[in-house]
Structure 1
Amino acid sequence: MSRFVELSHGIRDGMVTYPGMPEPRLSTYKSRAQSGAELGTGVSFDIARIELVANTGTYLDAPYHYHADGADVAALPVERLADVPLVVVRAVDAPHVDAAALGDPGRFWGHAVLIETGWSRHWGTPAYLTGSPYLTADAARVLIDANAALVGVDTLNIDDVTDPHRPVHDGLLGAGIPIVEHLTNLAALPDTGARLTALPAPVHGMGTFPVRAVARLA
């Protein structure tokens, strides 16, 4: 029987995903007490409200995030997001991941490529927000040339946050390759053989949105 591995961080009121960005705020739009009184039948329900920026928790970047003429999250091909064969690249505790660290690019064709750095162990602490590992520009070029379906990382940012050119975002998204940031539990996955699903809500006009990313093990 197949089993699933959770690859997403949960979203909680007041959590910090990225330094300087507003924290998500959860509240109640209609409480059980209110709905129960309105129905008067002993049945009640709860409707919640959430206010957040799109870059909250584990989220996906669509091409529109960096390119005005690129696909938004609603226009992304589902084939890149659902039941995609995946490859995990192990780069635990590496300060950055360059082309050489990716290994044989022939295995990436049509696959979601997830980079395990181990940085997710710092999630929810100040350590997560500074000094995060990242991919280099030459690594992005390899992934583009290898026709990766999607690229994901368990770090704060796929790019070096000190580089304003953001070559990895710019290159991958320019090639139509979605990016998922802030993954977790990548150590629980095999190097190959699992399949990834990371679907955002199909919101038009947005380049980024939270996802529930899960891997299905064969």
Structure 2
Amino acid sequence: MKMIDVSRRLGPDTPVWPGDTPYRYQLSWSMEETGSVNVGQVEMSVHTGTHVDAPYHFDSNGEKMIDLPLDIYMGKAIVLDVSNATEVTASLLEGFSLDGAERVLLKTDTWKEGEPFPETIPSIHPDAASYLASHGVRLLGVDVPSVDPLDSKELAAHHALHTHSIHILEGLNLEGVTPGLYELTALPLPIVEGDGSPVRAVLRYYE
């Protein structure tokens, strides 16, 4: 079974949303102190690296991480190459076969692993949400930090996707991933009050 890790690494140089909590790992106790084990602690935003958004992230009355069914984040997914697009619209998506996949991952190739936080990104036009929903899509994944423009306050794409019951996976690393069908696993943590969660996202070839 060949698996492809499509998660961004978490380390001292992991870029975060400007002004958000930087990633930090440190030892709370060392083996010298405990006599047996190293014990570490992590500090970071739940939107660091590869992560999912809960509706509560952009809607104070929305569901939190603990409320979301896990099957959203596991199953058949299709990777689409939209690397020439500055905006992903319904008309652009009409040029692809979604092949019944409930999960669509968009490869923009605009934010490489190891690069700093981007200044601009391709965004999702709100009309893409209704098109995806009409094809039974339940999860949209992107290889950039957000589905909306980075300076957006309205978050029109977030809200449009939520209106159509499409969940959001952001910050994927799709470098070197060939467009096509895969099995996706990107399980979030059961954070009771969470507006999001980091995930370990993995693809394996669809059989």
TM-score computed with the length of structure 2 as normaliser: 0.90
Moved more, 8-17 or 48-57: 8-17
Corresponding residue for residue 90 of structure 1: 81
Corresponding residue for residue 63 of structure 1: 55
SS at match of 2:186: strand
Q: Percent identity?
A: 28
Which of 163, 167, 180 is equivalent to 2:169?
Answer: 180
In 2, distance between residues paired with 1:49 and 1:98?
A: 41
Mapping of residues 61-140 of structure 1, within 5 Å: 61-82=53-74, 84-103=75-94, 107=98, 109=100, 111-121=102-112, 123-126=113-116, 128-140=117-129
Structure of greater Rg = 1
Per-residue deviation, 1:147: 2.6
Give deviations 1:107-136, integer Å, cap 9, x for gaps. Answer: 365511000100232x4334x421211111
SS at match of 2:187: strand
Per-residue deviation, 1:144: 2.7
**Aligned CA distance change for structure 1 residues 5 and 184 (closer, same or farther; 3 Å):** same
In 2, distance between residues paired with 1:56 and 1:72?
A: 17
8 Å Cα contact 2:130/2:164 also seen in 1: no
Give deviations 1:40-91, integer Å, cap 9, x for gaps. Answer: xxxx211100111111111101222222333211221111112x10111211
**Aligned CA distance change for structure 1 residues 69 and 146 (closer, same or farther; 3 Å):** farther
Alignment-mate amino acid for residue 29 of structure 1 = S
In 1, distance between residues paired with 2:168 and 2:143?
A: 11
Corresponding residue for residue 31 of structure 1: 30
Corresponding residue for residue 149 of structure 2: 160
Q: Tell whether 2:17 aligns with 1:18.
A: yes
Count of aligned residue pairs for this structure pair: 206
Corresponding residue for residue 197 of structure 1: 185
Give deviations 1:151-206, integer Å, cap 9, x for gaps. Answer: 100013211223322111112123332211110125424412x1101111101111
In 2, distance between residues paired with 1:138 and 1:20?
A: 30
TM-score computed with the length of structure 1 as normaliser: 0.86
Corresponding residue for residue 216 of structure 1: 204
Alignment-mate amino acid for residue 198 of structure 2 = P
8 Å Cα contact 2:126/2:161 also seen in 1: no
In 1, distance between residues paired with 2:130 and 2:25?
A: 40
**Aligned CA distance change for structure 1 residues 161 and 73 (closer, same or farther; 3 Å):** same
Corresponding residue for residue 39 of structure 1: none
In 2, distance between residues paired with 1:55 and 1:101?
A: 28
In 1, distance between residues paired with 2:33 and 2:118?
A: 40
* RMSD across aligned positions (CA): 2.0
Q: Structure 2, unaligned stretches of length 5 or more?
A: none
